[in-house]
Homo-oligomer: A and B are copies of this chain.
Amino acid sequence: MESAIDTHLKCPRTLSRRVPDDYQPPFPMWVGRADTSLQQVVMAYLGVQYADEAKRPDALAALRHIVATFEGADGPEHHDLTHHVDNQDHHNLMVVGYWADPAAYCRWLRSDRVKGWWDSDDRLNEGLGYFREVVAPRVDQFETLYAFQEELPGVGAVMGKISGDVNEHGYWGSMRERIPLSQTDWMKPGGELIVVTGDPKAGGRVVVRGHDNIALIRSGQDWIEAGDDERSLYLDEILPTLEAGMDFLRDNGEDVGCYSNRFVRSIDLDGNELDESYNIGHWRSLDRLERWAESHPTHLRIFTTFFRVAEGLEKLRLYHEVSVSDGKDQTFEYINCHPRTGMLRDARMPSSV
């Protein structure tokens, strides 16, 4: 049994754990491990939004264009593609890119094919929306948790290695305790979302400023290789409750501290659905995410189902990754997106601050 916090990220605690030293988790789980040289990762969610089915080919072409910019030395180590329909009946295609080197991300971002394309006035007149939601957590600011040990998705693909059984899981508070920074820091939210450029209601270009310790959770399901029993477990038993919980957060997030919640389906470059999905949620703070997760009936039902089946899972892959980040390491930019997209819904105009 090892700690979820890697050896080189351990430090003298000023904040104690919730459980005693001799805590024993009820079943095994694993976390991603990275080389000690990894300092900070970039998680860039790059979106294309369209209201009308007829725009799908254009939107897919735009998505493919973004993915094409990943080629070359400064592209991300890993990426994947998704589609979802939001509660304004808009379609959204996203590619998330994971960089192990923030400097490479910056070079990519500033390259002509990226900067020139994003800044071009053409983006304002294509009948498509675009967004970039990017956070760059340091290695002491994120955690992962996998119910499997191979071919890690998401940030695990950048980390590259898997731990042995870890101690910090199976109790409320373990997510926080897997984040190395929790040893010494409450990770409290540092401000409010503020619109710093444009006006969400007017469309066009809008930039939102984030704040310290926005929490980002990616929580995923992969039933590609699952047999009949595990497909049924996921599709018939877990999924309906999961959808209810994720719809609740999408539609009522403002009340519970969830800025944005998207339950997305993985796709290929042609837009065909794959048997993978994940939820991507932005929260005002880790403690708001904790309070919801540990008290909402839908999440508790998912949690107890997972507890029941975790040890017997064979091909159904369940995992999550959670990060906090500094406000200065966040980017939230939108072009012609509807005003409830991403951070736009909860961001305040400067005049109202």
Contacts and interface: CB of A to CB of B under 8 A. Distances in A.
Contacts of A297: 301, 304
Given A294-B294, A295-B304, A287 B172 contact: no
A171 B16 contact: no
Interface string A164-198: 00000011110000000000001010000000000
Interface string A307-322: 1000000000000000
Contacts of A19: 287
A1 interface: no
Contact of A172 (B22, B23, B173, B301): B173
A18 B19 CA distance: 10
A235 interface: no
Given A15-B16, A297-B304, A173 B170 contact: no
B20 A171 contact: no
> Size range of the interface on A?
20 to 34
A85 interface: no
A190 to B, nearest CB: 13
Nearest to A305: B297
B16 A294 contact: no
Nearest to A176: B18
A20 B188 contact: yes
A233 to B, nearest CB: 16
A172 B16 CA distance: 15
Nearest to A297: B304
Contacts of A290: 171
Contacts of A113: none
A291 interface: yes
Nearest to A296: B304
Contact of A307 (B15, B20, B295, B301): B295
B294 A172 contact: yes
Contacts of A23: 287
A300 interface: yes
Contacts of A300: 300-301, 303-304
A173 B17 CA distance: 11
A301 B300 CA distance: 8
B20 A287 contact: yes
Contacts of A303: 295, 300
A15 to B, nearest CB: 5
A18 B20 contact: no
Contacts of A188: 20, 22
A45 to B, nearest CB: 27
Contacts of A301: 297, 300
12 contacts: A19-B287, A23-B287, A170-B291, A171-B295, A172-B172, A172-B294, A173-B173, A295-B307, A297-B304, A300-B300, A300-B301, A300-B303
Interface of A: 14-16, 18-20, 22-23, 26, 170-173, 186, 188, 287, 290-291, 294-297, 300-301, 303-304, 307
Given A16-B16, A23-B287, 8 more contacts: A14-B16, A20-B188, A26-B291, A170-B295, A171-B172, A172-B172, A172-B173, A173-B173
> Which 8 A-B residue pairs are closest in the complex by CB-CB distance?
A172-B172, A297-B304, A300-B300, A15-B16, A20-B186, A16-B16, A18-B18, A172-B294
